[in-house]
């Protein structure tokens, strides 16, 4: 998932981190509204298209779910209402980008060094390589739970801003403590298969569709399609756990609810389709989001490297 490498010239680790972080911030400002829409749809527990409702009534309900208090306001006010929790989202997005896409190659190298032959014997040469990429991604995804408090605060600001009234960040952290890790188990259950599908799906496309031996030699178009394949697979596989995780985190601090309670109520009251709420807007944004972030990362990383080294090398 890192930008293509070059055997004769390799950017510094600092430049990679700065490039990935900067592209993450710009990606955040561009796509945060869509993320807010997806989170609000996932945390909504009522049917938008109830039996007997007219199309106008359903659209009115959808408008209320998405824009909350700004539902009756002007278009610009509606748009601005989709930016709650931007500060927390920035912290989470930058840290998550650096950890996930910088950490997966490290985990992959470790597995390849210590268990590469085992993967080859178990799955074959080509399958083993793709499985190794997927497994490294899964391990990194599980460890991503360390960033959960930032994700929790971001989601609560997007879906339940009342929980913040009269309390600043320091007060919330002191009051809630380990409560900010509520839903950690469900997060790991979402991240493990989700990251496995993300990195594995991307590796599968590069290996079997494009026949690449060195994945870093992929062209822009090949990276585009490989990333889309991996991301769509990841979002679809992790959707049920993501809905449960979002609802756990969207609850008020003073009225937490267990994942099993939420799961049972979803099945009883909303049906199994509720496990895939918010999936469509997330999938629709995957393509441009990945192209946007990946293109900027490729440009920012060498640019920062030249700035840090004071070298005009092109």
User: How is the chain classified by DSSP, letter by letter?
Assistant: -PPP--SS----HHHHHHHHHHHHHHHHHHHHHHHHHHHHHHH--S-SS-TT--HHHHHHHHHHHHHGGGTTS-HHHHHHTT-TTHHHHHHHHHHHHHHHHHHHHHHHHHHHHHHHHHHHHHH-HHHHHHHHHHHHHHHHHHHGGGGHHHHHHHHHHHH-GGGGTT--HHHHHHHHGGGGGTTHHHHHHHHHHHHHHHHHHHHHIIIIIS--SSGGG--HHHHHHHHHHHHHHHHHHHHHHHHHHHHHHHS-TTS---HHHHHHHIIIII-GGGGGTTHHHHHHHHHHHHHHHHHHHHHHHHHHHHHHHT----
How many residues are given for the chain? 314
Per-residue confidence (pLDDT) for residue 294, from 0 to 100: 60
Please report, for residues 33, 176, 180, 249, the alpha-carbon distance to residue 254 in angstroms, rounded to integers and kept in the order given: 27, 9, 12, 12
Dist CA 230 CA 100 (whole Å):
14
pLDDT tens-place values along the chain, 314 residues long:
444 334 344 557 777 777 777 877 888 888 878 878 887 887 788 888 878 888 988 899 899 989 988 888 999 989 888 877 666 667 777 788 878 877 778 788 899 999 999 999 999 988 999 999 899 989 999 998 888 887 777 777 766 777 666 666 677 777 667 777 877 888 888 889 988 998 898 889 989 999 888 776 777 778 788 888 888 888 888 888 888 877 876 666 666 777 788 888 888 888 877 888 778 877 776 557 766 776 676 577 677 877 888 754 44
φ and ψ at residue 74, rounded to 5 degrees = -70, 165
Whole-structure pTM over 0.75, yes or no?
Answer: no
End-to-end CA distance of the chain: 22
Per-residue confidence (pLDDT) for residue 290, from 0 to 100: 63
Is there a contact between 191 and 147 (Cβ–Cβ < 8 Å)?
no
Is there a contact between 109 and 27 (Cβ–Cβ < 8 Å)?
no
């Amino acid at each position: 998932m890192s930008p293509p490498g070059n055997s004769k010239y390799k950017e510094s680790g600092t430049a990679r981190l700065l490039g990935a972080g900067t592209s993450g911030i710009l990606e955040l400002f561009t796509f945060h509204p869509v993320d807010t829409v997806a989170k609000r749809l996932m945390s909504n527990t009522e049917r938008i298209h109830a039996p007997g409702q007219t199309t106008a009534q359903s659209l009115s309900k959808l408008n209320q779910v998405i824009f909350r208090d700004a539902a009756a306001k002007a278009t610009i006010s509606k748009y601005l209402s989709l930016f709650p929790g931007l500060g927390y989202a920035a912290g989470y997005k930058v840290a998550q980008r650096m950890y996930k896409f910088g950490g997966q190659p490290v985990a992959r190298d470790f597995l390849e060094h210590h268990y590469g032959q085992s993967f080859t014997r178990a799955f074959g040469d080509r399958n083993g390589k793709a499985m190794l990429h997927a497994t490294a991604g899964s391990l990194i995804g599980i460890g991503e739970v360390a960033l959960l408090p930032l994700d929790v605060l971001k989601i609560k600001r997007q879906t339940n801003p009342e929980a913040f009234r009269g309390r600043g960040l320091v007060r919330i952290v002191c009051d809630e403590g380990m409560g900010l890790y509520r839903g950690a188990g469900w997060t790991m259950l979402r991240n493990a298969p989700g990251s496995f599908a993300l990195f594995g799906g991307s590796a599968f496309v590069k290996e079997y569709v494009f026949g690449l031996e060195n994945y870093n030699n992929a062209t822009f178009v090949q990276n585009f399609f490989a990333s889309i394949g991996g991301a769509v697979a990841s979002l679809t596989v992790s959707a049920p756990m993501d809905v449960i995780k979002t609802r756990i985190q969207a609850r008020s601090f003073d009225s937490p609810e267990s994942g099993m309670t939420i799961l049972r109520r979803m099945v009883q009251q909303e049906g199994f389709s509720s496990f895939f709420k918010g999936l469509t807007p997330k999938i629709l944004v995957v393509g441009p989001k990945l192209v946007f972030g990946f293109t900027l990362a490729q440009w920012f990383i060498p640019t920062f490297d030249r700035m840090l080294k004071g070298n005009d090398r092109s």
